[in-house]
């Protein structure tokens, strides 16, 4: 019984470690992308045509959220 419990614990620990490492990669990737994002400029969005005080690569935040994964 003790051995079974220990085994499931190990699997749990491995799963947690795996998830944490995946999240860590995502955080690093997000930080890398955030560092690459320029401050942006005001203007009309290339995608929706509305005026925004801050465009990045010609797209407003809404369009970037919608189309950039
Ligand atoms: Zn837009």
- Rounded Cα distance, 24 and 19, in Å: 8
Q: How far is the CA of 67 from the centre of ligand 1 (A)?
A: 10
Over the stretch 1-11, which tens digit does the pLDDT of each residue have? 565 555 555 77
Q: Can you give the pLDDT at residue 69? A: 56
Whether the pLDDT of residue 12 is over 70: the answer is: no
Among 22, 64, 69, 26, CA closest to 47: 64
Residues with CB under 5 A from ligand 1 (ion): 45, 47-48, 60, 63
Rounded to whole angstroms, the Cα distance separating 59 from 33 reads 16
| pLDDT score for 23 | 82
pLDDT at 32: 81
Q: Give the containing element (helix H, strand E) for 49.
A: none
Q: How far is the CA of 42 from the centre of ligand 1 (A)?
A: 12
Residue 58, φ and ψ in degrees, nearest 5: 80, 5
| pLDDT tens track for 20-54 | 888 888 888 888 877 765 678 899 999 999 999 99
Q: Residue 45: what pLDDT?
A: 95
List of E strands, 19-62 = 41-44, 51-55
For the chain, which residues make up each domain, given as ranges?
Answer: 1-36, 39-69
């Amino acid at each position: 019984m003790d051995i079974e419990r220990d085994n499931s614990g190990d699997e749990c620990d491995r799963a947690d470690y795996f998830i944490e490492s995946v999240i860590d990669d995502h955080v690093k990737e997000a930080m890398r992308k955030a560092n690459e994002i320029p401050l942006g400029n005001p203007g009309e969005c290339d995608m929706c045509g509305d005026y925004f005080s801050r465009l990045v690569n010609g797209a407003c935040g809404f369009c970037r959220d919608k189309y950039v994964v």
